[in-house]
């Protein structure tokens, strides 16, 4: 994914604008990094720390998504006043409703569980009860509140489900929250990309009050020095950068997987604030050139998915960040370099692209949701790349229709 970054002399980030998406797609298919092997010393993985040696190899495995998960597709109804933009995200799925927000335009849409358009609100503006744009939205079902993260104002706005303003609070001084998630009924976990955090002087993971925004505690993950995934170079009078998807906060059934790319250990934050080491790696990330990152991805009761990403990029071809997908099977106690398909070996599932899984939107036990853009489905149908139910859906939609949601309930 390509970004343009413009900096002031004091290093404060002014803009982070997504320019193009196809470089991400290219990087997924570019030449692979060294293939690691994961060793596990116990069948009871939950009580042991998985060890990854990035210099070893492991067997490939092709997985049909239908064999490991039950799938439900939900086309979101398209109306003239219910138009979801491509940068928008589904941020909650309850028993009877689906919540979706547009990004800069700032509308929150509420659909029925079957995808029928119900209601919407937009509180974008310059007033004290209004946001400039929606960087991210979070639903708190117990408190019946929506939290809107506005990175432009560095504030979190709280509304009820129909858009009535309740309160707001600022990001912690010096912080810039790029990700937020509901931790419990009174606090949220935030990922800070402020100047001190980026410099390694402050923890990027913090717990704050849902009522006041007051910092409750820092979540400290040890590392030697701050590393960045992004590759930056100067072009004329501005800095430009290339990066790859990293999900710092990923909801699981019993906590949150935290991605700290500077650390040699992947951790899970438990409800009692305990940091549980899940995976360790060798060689150490600080010693590798080019740097190779180990990143957590989604976890189910049966599988743990992680990615190995090499920090290199070809500016001439716009191809880089080769990524290897690893999957650990808790039942078989084995790890594979996996490829997931759906209904056909040629219909590849990529959790970053097709469908785009929302890592903070954990619906319930073992269930995740992703979005598939309608224009992409139409293009794939025209290229004869779809099979089964997806092909049928593509035949009945228009390319400018709202996206199709894919609910993935992984089997035990």
Statement: residue 279 has pLDDT above 50 = yes
User: What's the confidence (pLDDT) of residue 376?
Assistant: 94
Give pLDDT, residue 333: 86
Pick the most confident of 8-12, 20-24, 377-381.
377-381
Among 22-26, 81-85, 387-391, name the most confident range.
81-85
Give the lowest-confidence range in 63-67, 91-95, 360-364.
360-364
- Using CA atoms, how far residue 189 sits from 205, 210, 255, 403, in Å, is 7, 10, 11, 28
Range in 167-176, 348-357, 372-381 with the lowest mean pLDDT: 348-357
Percent of the chain with pLDDT over 70: 89
Q: What is the pLDDT of residue 353?
A: 83
Question: 10 or 319: whose pLDDT is higher?
Answer: 319
**Contact, 52 vs 282, CB < 8 A?**
yes
Q: What confidence score (pLDDT) does residue 153 get?
A: 97
- Out of 13-27, 185-199, 340-354, least confident range: 13-27
| Lowest-confidence segment of 253-267, 330-344, 364-378 by average pLDDT | 330-344
Q: Is the pTM of this model over 0.75?
A: yes
Residue 12 pLDDT level (bands cut at 50, 70, 90): very low
**What is the residue-averaged pLDDT of the chain?**
87
Q: Residue 364: what pLDDT?
A: 83
pLDDT score of 29 more than 80: no
pLDDT of residue 14: 36
Q: Supply the pLDDT for residue 46.
A: 54
pLDDT value of position 47: 58
Kindly tell me if the per-residue pLDDT of 336 is higher than 70: yes
* pLDDT surpasses 60 at 33: no
Residue whose entry in the numeric block shows the structure tokens 């994961």:
38
Lowest-confidence segment of 58-67, 118-127, 145-154 by average pLDDT: 58-67
């Amino acid at each position: 994914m390509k970004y343009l970054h413009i900096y002031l002399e004091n290093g404060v980030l002014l803009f982070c604008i997504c320019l193009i998406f196809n470089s991400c797609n290219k990087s997924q298919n570019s030449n692979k990094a060294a293939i690691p092997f994961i060793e596990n010393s116990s069948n009871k993985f939950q009580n042991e720390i998985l060890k990854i040696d990035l210099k070893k190899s492991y067997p490939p495995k092709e997985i049909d998504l239908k064999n490991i998960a039950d799938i439900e597709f939900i086309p979101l109804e398209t109306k003239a006043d219910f138009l979801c933009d491509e940068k928008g995200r589904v941020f909650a799925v309850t028993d009877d409703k689906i919540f979706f927000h547009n990004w800069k335009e700032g509308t929150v849409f509420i659909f029925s569980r079957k995808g029928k358009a119900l209601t919407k609100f937009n509180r974008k503006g310059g007033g004290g009860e209004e946001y400039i744009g929606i960087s991210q939205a979070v639903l708190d079902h117990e408190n019946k509140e929506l939290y809107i993260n506005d990175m432009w104002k560095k504030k979190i706005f709280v509304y009820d489900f129909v858009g009535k303003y309740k309160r707001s609070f600022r990001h912690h001084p010096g912080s810039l929250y790029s990700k937020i998630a509901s931790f419990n009924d009174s606090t949220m976990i935030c990922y800070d990309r402020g100047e001190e955090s980026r410099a390694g002087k402050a923890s990027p993971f913090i717990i704050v009050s849902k009522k006041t925004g007051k910092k409750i505690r820092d979540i400290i993950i040890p590392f030697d020095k701050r590393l960045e995934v992004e590759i930056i170079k100067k072009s004329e009078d501005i800095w430009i950068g290339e990066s790859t998807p990293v999900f710092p906060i990923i909801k699981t059934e019993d906590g949150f997987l935290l991605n700290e790319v500077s650390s040699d250990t992947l951790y899970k934050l438990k409800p009692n604030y305990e940091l549980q080491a899940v995976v360790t790696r060798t060689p150490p990330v600080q010693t590798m050139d080019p740097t190779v990152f180990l990143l957590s991805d989604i976890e189910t009761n049966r599988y743990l998915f992680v990615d190995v990403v090499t920090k290199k990029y070809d500016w001439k071809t716009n191809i880089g960040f080769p990524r290897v997908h690893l999957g650990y099977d808790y039942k078989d106690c084995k790890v594979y370099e996996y490829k997931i398909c759906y209904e056909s070996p040629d219909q590849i599932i990529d959790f970053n692209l097709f469908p785009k899984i929302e890592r903070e939107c954990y619906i319930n036990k073992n269930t995740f949701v992703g979005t598939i853009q309608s224009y992409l489905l139409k293009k794939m149908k025209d290229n004869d790349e779809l099979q089964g139910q997806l092909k049928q859906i593509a035949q009945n939609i228009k390319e400018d229709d709202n996206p199709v949601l894919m609910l993935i309930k992984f089997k035990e």
